[in-house]
Amino acid sequence: MTDQIPTHLDPAHRHDIVMLFDVHDGNPNGDPDAGNQPRLDAETYQGLVTDVALKRKIRDTIPLLHPDDPRYKIFIEADVALNSQIERGFAGAGVKPSKKATPQERDAVHKWMCDNFYDVRLFGAVLSTGDAQAGHVRGPLQFAFSRSISPVFPVDHAITRITQTRQADIDKGERTEMGSKWTVHYGLYRVHAYYSAARGLQTGITSQDLDTLWQALTNMFDHDRSATRGEMAIQGLYIFSHDNAFGRARAATLFDRIKVTPLNQNVPRSIDDYKIEINDTDLPTGITLTSLI
């Protein structure tokens, strides 16, 4: 089976991932502790996007790729309590909900959750937040924070609305209400991700699951449009695949083969203002590089 599928779709092999995405006139990830302005490194002014923000976009895309597929339900979704989802896991595994589940019972719940929830299978999950506790699942895929290549400069735009929030204000004759909207003019972001084959085999990742992941990454911005986020697009997806589960080289040395540098000293305003160099020559033995974008 391993020889019949592309290397980047083999769940028994380790994969190290580099992704590039950009934003035009939008807020890629607001910081609730800073009035929802774009997240920044306070020392370098490079923009940041959290791993959680990217995982949310993947979760929102999966039901579009696999509607009504029982193996592709989402554990963390809007308006659904986590404790209720965990209780479903106990019921599905035929285990009585308890805070003192045995290791065998926890394993049964873990298997049911992994078999039925794509995000548990891929990212893992904490399953001990209520009266039914089954410990936690360690997922095979982990994202780092995304960081912009160049500094970004958040701008606060004043906006108005032609109606009020409260009827009492309308009765007083007020006709507009002020607000604000944060954006960056342009930012090119880079993020690294890591797939552990050993953990993927534990949670039951399949080649279809990996294919779904790559589809989600390449299409998620097109299905997550928002006036707040402006125009976001993926600009590069590079997968270093090893020929075994442990790996043939350090991820850091492989990531160095993808270099992104500004072309000049002008303020970047598009992907054309950067040079992207991909060094795919003399790769370490057992390493292949797949460029999906």
- Residue 229 has a CB neighbour count (10 Å cut-off) of 20
Tokens of 279: 């060094």
Annotate 157-184 with three-state secondary structure. EEEEECCCCCHHHHHCCCCCEEEEEEEE
User: Tens digits of per-residue pLDDT, 24-65?
Assistant: 999 999 999 999 999 999 999 999 999 999 999 999 999 999
203, 217, 51, 237: which is closest to 118 by C-alpha? 203
User: If you average pLDDT over residues 216-221, what whole number do you get?
Assistant: 96
Residue 114, pLDDT above cutoff 90: yes
pTM greater than the 0.85 cutoff: yes
Mean pLDDT rounded to a whole number for the chain: 94
- Bridge partners, 64 (sequence order): none
Mean of the pLDDT values across residues 231-245? 97
The CA-based diameter of the chain, rounded to the nearest angstrom, is: 75
pLDDT-based confidence at residue 177 (cuts at 50, 70, 90) = confident
CA–CA gap between residue 243 and residue 261 (Å, rounded): 30
**Domain ranges, ordered by start, for the chain:** 1-50+145-154+184-293, 52-138
| End-to-end alpha carbon distance in the chain | 26
Question: pLDDT tens digits for 121-162?
Answer: 999 999 999 999 999 999 999 999 999 999 999 999 998 888
Q: Structure tokens of 32?
A: 């609730």
Report, as an integer, the average pLDDT of 87-93: 96
* 1: pLDDT strictly greater than 80: no
The first and second tokens of residue 67, run together, are 């509607």
| Res. 3: pLDDT tops 70 | no
Percent of the chain with pLDDT over 90: 86
**Rounded average pLDDT over 179-183:** 90
The tokens for 241 are 């695949």
| Residue 117 phi, psi (nearest 5) | -120, 115
Coil, strand or helix: which one is 102?
A: coil
Determine the average pLDDT of the residues in 245-255.
Answer: 96
Contacts of 56 (CB under 8 A, 6+ apart): none
